[in-house]
Amino acid sequence: MAKHAGAYRSDKRRKELSRLKKQEEKRQRRLSKKDSTEQDSEMTDSEGKDREQEN
pLDDT at 3: 61
pLDDT at 15: 95
Distance CA 46, CA 30 (A): 25
pLDDT at 54: 58
pLDDT at 41: 67
Model confidence at 55, pLDDT cuts 50, 70, 90, reads low
In this predicted model, what pLDDT tens digit does every residue of 1-53 receive, in sequence order? 556 666 667 889 999 999 999 999 999 999 998 888 777 766 656 555 555 55
Distance CA 29, CA 35 (A): 10
Distance CA 11, CA 17 (A): 10
pTM of the model: 0.51
CA-CA-CA-CA dihedral for 12, 14, 15, 20, to nearest 10: 120
